[in-house]
Chains A and B, each alone.
Chain A
Amino acid sequence: MKRQNNAAWLFLIPSAVILAFVGVVPLVAVFNYSFHDIFSLDQAYWIGSQWYEEIAGSQRFRASLARSLSFSALVISVQFSLGIWIALLLSRAPRYRTPVLMLMAVPLVVPWNMIPIMWLNLINPETGLVGRVFEALGIGFDYKFTALHTWILLIVMDTWHWLGLVVILVYAGLSGIPPAYYQAAAIDGASRLQVFRHVQLPRLAGVLSMALVLRFVDSFMIYTEAFRINAGGPSGATTFLALDLGENINGFSYGIAAARSVIYFLMVLAVAWVFRLVTQAREGAGQ
């Protein structure tokens, strides 16, 4: 059992200082900026909640929010169904375990801005392996001007990037299930589907919620990859929340950018809070 000792805070001071400097201070600063009209860093005027009203009332914000939510919903449903399925296959085929898990980890170590560059080359009709196949088959894939194609490209690319995360976490969860559980299910004559539903799924709740919170936040706030593919186009069809923020920052509109940062941070914080509540409720029920 852990001992109660408030002097343990001394061990936390170094990390607390760094996190305060790179996290808390910037958050307080951005909160402060969000109530100002900022012409330059020395010239800022108090304008109250005007930026927030402007963002909340704008059609553009609601449209971007809807797009970001749809994107998250789509990539999460694709990546979770594929990821769980692959992890289940892996748990039944142990000899593929190490090579497949290592291979699935490779996209996770690619710098984020290289990923769109790689995919754009892949579908390039002149030099790309996939692009030339499409060209030969007469499939017109026009990610620049057809919104549906841009979306497909983004979802496939995001799946390539992050599928490994889901597979790795779910596989780790599956390997933590004691063999006795499966033996008990076998004695009861449970079908594979029943084993999944009643033995595996409940024991995967922890890793699935971890994967869900990471995948939701990263896809909801997708920036680098989406910007590189089509800069939010065609005609705004892939302008997600973070791309609006990037546009404000690049255009030196620091006041509204700060207000957006605060709103986005609160959204992420709310998701983290729900994750905490759900996790604590589950751990409480398990004990």
Chain B
Amino acid sequence: MRTARSIMGFLGFALLAGFILLPLAQTLFLSFLSTIPREGIPEGQATLLNYRNIVAMPALREAVLNSIIYALLNVLLCLAVGLPAAYAFSRYRFVGDRHFFFLLLAFRVTPPVVLSLPVFILFAKVGLVNSPVGIALAHCLFNIPITIWILESFISGIPREFDETAFLDGHNLPGFFVKHLIPAIAPGIGVAAFFCFIFSWVEVVIARILTVTAGKPITMAINALFGFQTDIGLVMAMTVVSLIPGVAMIWFVRNHISRGFVVRV
């Protein structure tokens, strides 16, 4: 009975793993095949050519770099403005705190497509189109709420006496943040940074509308590969590259993944 149940459990999880891995396996498989007719290489031959082509094509190299730049910028922005806000929510009550929290919730769940048009028009007026700064700023819309929520829960895990001791030791506010608070909630900073990076990295609608002629992110570079004769192997290799940062970082946040999807009121 007991072994039968554990075998069933194993089979169930194996089935689930198969479902999740199937599209990924397909992608990995095609990324190592030559998928268009080329001189000297038959179609369907195993090759590293697709990955070599990514390195060789400036548009693709730049796209990877662009995505990394705006996602990192977004992380820095969100942490810089989110940390003081999270501290305020963790330690104080103040007029309008609940309303501000609801604003965070509203922006967290607003789909980018709804705001894409006015964000584009506004950013075009102030010259933020085609620039990684523009995308990094626009992604703050949903990433600032997440940062504040995550950091607030980590700061609330530290007793208030911790702050008071630091202030009694003669630290001023910036000194307290840098020397005491940030080291104490280092895991929280890491978790918040991970989610800001990932949610910025996977977002497509805003990133597309804000890059008309230059600064294309990795997602748009892939769309541009589709044409009369699409080199699907190259598309898949690029997809694999786009998966690397997220998959590489999952291990580090494995115990905190649920925090990225917590919604607060």
Chain A interface residues toward B at CB < 8 A: 2-9, 11-12, 14-19, 21-23, 25-27, 29-30, 33, 41, 86, 89, 92-93, 96, 98, 100-115, 117-119, 121-122, 127-130, 160, 164-165, 168-169, 171-172, 207, 210-211, 213-214, 217-218, 221, 223-224, 242, 245-246, 249, 254, 257-258, 261, 264-265, 268-269, 271-273, 275-276, 279-280
Not counting A169-B261, A265-B114, A272-B102, a sample of 16 additional A-B residue pairs whose C-beta atoms are within 8 angstroms of each other reads A18-B81, A18-B140, A29-B121, A96-B13, A103-B16, A107-B20, A109-B245, A113-B222, A121-B26, A121-B30, A122-B23, A129-B22, A165-B261, A217-B109, A261-B118, A268-B111
Give min CB distance, B120 to chain A, whole Å: 8
Residues facing A in B96-135 (CB within 8 A) are 96-97, 100, 102-107, 109-111, 113-119, 121-122
Closest to A266 in B: B114
Q: Are B148 and A15 closer than 8 Å at their CB atoms?
A: yes
- Collect the chain B residues with CB atoms within 8 Å of residue A19's CB: 103-104, 107, 140-141, 144
With A2-B92, A8-B88, A269-B106 as known contacts, state yes or no: A118 contacts B27, CB within 8 Å: yes
Q: Are A110 and B17 closer than 8 Å at their CB atoms?
A: no
Interface string of B206-238 (1 = CB under 8 A from A): 000100000000110011000000001001100
Q: Which of B49-57, B180-188, B246-254 contacts A (4 or more CB under 8 A)?
A: B246-254
B12 on interface, CB distance cutoff 8 Å: yes
Interface string of B1-42 (1 = CB under 8 A from A): 000001001001100110111111111011000010000000
- Collect the chain A residues with CB atoms within 8 Å of residue B97's CB: 8
With A14-B85, A249-B116, A276-B105 as known contacts, state yes or no: A102 contacts B250, CB within 8 Å: yes
Q: Which of B81, B118, B203, B242 contacts A30 (CB 8 A)?
A: B118
With A6-B94, A272-B106 as known contacts, state yes or no: A103 contacts B263, CB within 8 Å: no
Please give the number of chain B residues whose Cβ is less than 8 angstroms from any Cβ of chain A in the complex: 88
Give min CB distance, B3 to chain A, whole Å: 13
Q: How far is the CA of A110 from the CA of B24 in the complex (A)?
A: 10
- Collect the chain A residues with CB atoms within 8 Å of residue B26's CB: 118, 121-122, 128-129
Q: How far is the CA of A279 from the CA of B27 in the complex (A)?
A: 41
Q: Are A30 and B115 closer than 8 Å at their CB atoms?
A: yes
Q: How far is the CA of A275 from the CA of B102 in the complex (A)?
A: 10
B168 on interface, CB distance cutoff 8 Å: no
7 inter-chain pairs at a CB distance below 8 angstroms, sorted by A residue, are A2-B93, A4-B94, A30-B115, A103-B17, A121-B27, A242-B114, A268-B106
Q: Are A160 and B110 closer than 8 Å at their CB atoms?
A: no
Tell me the dominant secondary structure on chain B's binding face: helix
Q: Are B198 and A171 closer than 8 Å at their CB atoms?
A: no
B172 on interface, CB distance cutoff 8 Å: no
- Collect the chain B residues with CB atoms within 8 Å of residue A33's CB: 117-118, 121
Closest to A224 in B: B204
Q: Are A114 and B94 closer than 8 Å at their CB atoms?
A: no
Q: Are A268 and B118 closer than 8 Å at their CB atoms?
A: no
Q: Which of A12, A117, A168, A211 contacts B239 (CB 8 A)?
A: A117
Closest to A97 in B: B254
Give min CB distance, A157 to chain B, whole Å: 8
Q: Are B16 and A100 closer than 8 Å at their CB atoms?
A: yes
- Collect the chain A residues with CB atoms within 8 Å of residue B12's CB: 89
B95 on interface, CB distance cutoff 8 Å: yes
- Collect the chain A residues with CB atoms within 8 Å of residue B189's CB: none
Give min CB distance, A4 to chain B, whole Å: 5
Q: Are A106 and B250 closer than 8 Å at their CB atoms?
A: yes
Q: Are A214 and B30 closer than 8 Å at their CB atoms?
A: no
Closest to B84 in A: A11
Q: Which of B20, B94, B141 contacts A5 (CB 8 A)?
A: B94
Give min CB distance, A227 to chain B, whole Å: 10
With A8-B91, A242-B111, A276-B265 as known contacts, state yes or no: A22 contacts B85, CB within 8 Å: no
- Collect the chain A residues with CB atoms within 8 Å of residue B20's CB: 103-104, 106-107, 160, 164
Q: How far is the CA of A109 from the CA of B240 in the complex (A)?
A: 12
Q: Are A280 and B17 closer than 8 Å at their CB atoms?
A: no
Q: Which of B92, B121, B202 contacts A41 (CB 8 A)?
A: B121
Q: Are B117 and A254 closer than 8 Å at their CB atoms?
A: yes
Q: Are A26 and B122 closer than 8 Å at their CB atoms?
A: yes
Q: Which of A160, A214, A268 contacts B261 (CB 8 A)?
A: A214
B243 on interface, CB distance cutoff 8 Å: yes
- Collect the chain A residues with CB atoms within 8 Å of residue B222's CB: 113-114, 117
